[in-house]
Structure 1
Amino acid sequence: MDSVWSRLGAALLSLPARGASGIGSLLEAIRTMFVGDPALRRQVGFSVAMIALSAKMARADGVVTQDEVRAFHRIFEIPPDEMRNVQRLYNLAQADTAGFETYAYQLANLCGSGDDNCLLLQDILDGLFYIAEADGIVHEREVAFLRRVSEIFRIDALHFERLLARHARPMGADPYAVLDLPINTEFGAVRKRYRTLVAENHPDRLIARGMPADFIAIATNRLAAINSAYEMIERSQVPA
């Protein structure tokens, strides 16, 4: 079976050699090529979103560090023979005159439902945070970029703040915020919430809703943060 990357390459090849060949044209090609396979459309769309918005975020920040490059490659387990297509897409996004907001709106529409907090769009935002934090700090301009993307994706402010707490303050994040709970929630409720989050964020669940298997680093990083937050709260329940 063809991989997501080979399908992405096919979509890139469908672009005109001259004229309009930006990300908007690519997204339209994806919509047309995979009209009968919404699951594959979501997977290819997810890949395009991560690569194109990463490129735009790099422009917003003004600098691409080696740490961010390494984080990019931890997320994108790209076969060597497909690397050329990914680089072409990244360069296309950086050179495209369309702003990142245009991309974000197009990608939100590609999600399919348009509902608030589309789970696949949350995964995209989480991946962008993962790349942004790789150099040890999520810069102010990156936060502004990510906040605007979240607004366009119709991701609620509380979820955004939870992502910010986990990624921008990893050493001092409020564990209750990571679990999306009020401070000092009764421990039984914390345990219930923890189990729900672990089930919801199991890699198999994420793949089922459209995250390509190649992006498993996002799920692994998220589960590690959830586990760490729960363990921190659990330790606080033990009498001194």
Structure 2
Amino acid sequence: MGKLIGAVLGFMVGGPLLALLGLAIGHIFDRGLGQAMRFNYGAEQETLQRSFFDTTFRVMGHVAKADGRVSESEIAQAEAIMTELGLTPERRRDAIARFKEGSAADFQLEPEIASFLRHGGRRLLMRKMLIEALLAMALADGRIDPAERDILSRVAQHLGVRAADFDRLMRMAGAQRQFHGYQQGGQYTGGAAPDSGARLAQAYGVLGVEATASDAEIKKAYRKLMSENHPDKLAAKGLPDEMMKLATEKAQDIQAAYALIKEHRKES
């Protein structure tokens, strides 16, 4: 754009010679602007990633304290999640510190979410990913109790997510957790291994559609979810590296669920 404007203005003022000069000046402007934009973009991404990481583990600690105290099983669950995410020793220490801050008696949820929004969390996709990450962590033990649900519902409300959309995300997260357990070598984490009918119901739940949906509706839901949850896209939007494993697993579960539904419909 700088080169174009420089060349046009130069030509209008002094003909072809000044047009060349304007082109050169415009090129220098474009390079400087590009460098400035890359610098600012990188800094913004780093800030958002840090904010996402900190908010996730603070709220996770707050959820663990929902019943008044953090139990040994909840601490073990948090440590298991950190291990599953593959955190480095340094990042693990950071996560533990943020978890403790969130479980402290003086922790306030609303200012924490407001801080996340200020640091780039106003992007709809990142708000949705924060809720989904928290739901995935809360479901690590296979269930979300009423006190935990209340806190997560408040998080969604502060992020501007409608109650109906939050309920849908929670149902999809639950279905994905069950479906993922089956996908892991048949090691189902939700109790007794499901029969084929239950697995199919979970697959529909992963895509967030009813079993009565048409093939076109299912394909549309699948494509939308894959577009939203593609790891490369999420990385570009500011998802921290540590959360990429959750995103990758979700994308794989979406693909597996869609494949199962297609296979079932082909056989029917």
TM-score range, shorter chain: 0.7 to 0.9
Q: Does the Cα contact within 8 Å between 1:72 and 1:131 map onto a contact in 2?
A: no
Closer/same/farther in 2, CA of residues 174 and 95 from structure 1, 3 Å limit: same
1:160 equivalent to 2:166? Answer yes
Question: Structure 1 residue 138 and structure 2 residue 111: aligned?
Answer: no
Residues 179, 80 of structure 1: CA spacing in aligned structure 2 closer, same or farther, 3 A cutoff? same
- Alpha carbons 2:231, 2:247 under 8 Å: kept: yes
More helix by share: 2
Whether the aligned pair in 2 keeps the contact of 1:163 and 1:178 (CA below 8 Å) is no
- Letter in structure 2 aligned against 1:210: G
Amino acid at match of 2:84: R
Q: Does 1:105 align with 2:133?
A: no
Contact 1:101-1:152 within 8 A present in 2 as well: yes
Which one of 223, 235, 251 corresponds to residue 195 of structure 1? 223
Q: Distance in 1 between matches of 2:214 and 2:94?
A: 50
Partners of 1:91 and 1:65 lie apart in 2 by 10
Query: What is the alpha-carbon distance in structure 1 between the residues aligned to residue 126 and residue 229 of structure 2?
Result: 12
> What's the CA shift for 1:39?
1.4
**CA shift for structure 1 position 176:** 4.2
Separation in 2, partners of 1:120, 1:151: 15
| Alpha-carbon distance, 1:120 to partner | 0.8
Aligned-pair Cα RMSD in Å: 2.7
Q: Which amino acid aligns with 1:74?
A: E
Q: Give the C-alpha shift of residue 81 in structure 1.
A: 3.7
What CA distance in whole angstroms lies between the structure 1 residues aligned with 2:213 and 2:45? Answer: 38
Aligned to 1:184: 212
TM-score (norm 2): 0.65
Give the residue type in structure 1 aligned to 2:150.
Answer: A
Deviations 1:166-222 (A, max 9, x none): 233444665445324455222023123312321321111111101012211220232
CA contact (8 A) 1:132 1:138 kept: yes
Q: CA deviation at 1:144?
A: 1.5
Counterpart in the other structure of 1:31: none
Counterpart pick for 2:49 among 27, 40, 43: 43
Instruction: Return 5+ residue gaps in structure 1 as ranges.
Output: 1-33
Amino-acid identity (%): 24
Partner of 2:250: 222
Q: Which amino acid aligns with 2:216?
A: G
2:121, 2:127 within 8 Å by CA — same for their partners in 1? no
Aligned counterparts, 1:7-156, within 5 A: 37-61=43-67, 62=69, 63=71, 64=74, 66-75=76-85, 77-95=86-104, 97-111=106-120, 113=122, 118-156=124-162
Q: Is the 8 A contact 1:162 1:177 kept in 2?
A: no
Structure 2 residue identity aligned to 1:60:
A
SS of equivalent to 1:78: coil
Output the CA distance in 2 between the equivalents of 1:224 and 1:48.
26
Q: Secondary structure at the match of 2:266?
A: coil
Alpha-carbon shift at residue 159 of structure 1 (Å)? 3.2
Q: For the pair shown, which has the larger CA radius of gyration, 1 or 2?
A: 2
- Verify the 8 A CA contact 2:172 2:207 in the aligned structure 1: no
Report 1:205-220 matches (<5 A).
Answer: 205-220=233-248
Q: Is the contact between residue 198 and residue 223 of structure 1 (CA under 8 Å) also seen in structure 2? A: yes
Alpha-carbon distance change, 206 to 223 in structure 1, aligned in 2, over 3 angstroms: same
More relative contact order, 1 or 2 (CA 8 Å, 6+ apart): 1
- Relative to structure 1, is the Cα distance of residues 105 and 82 closer, same or farther in structure 2, using a 3 angstrom cutoff? closer
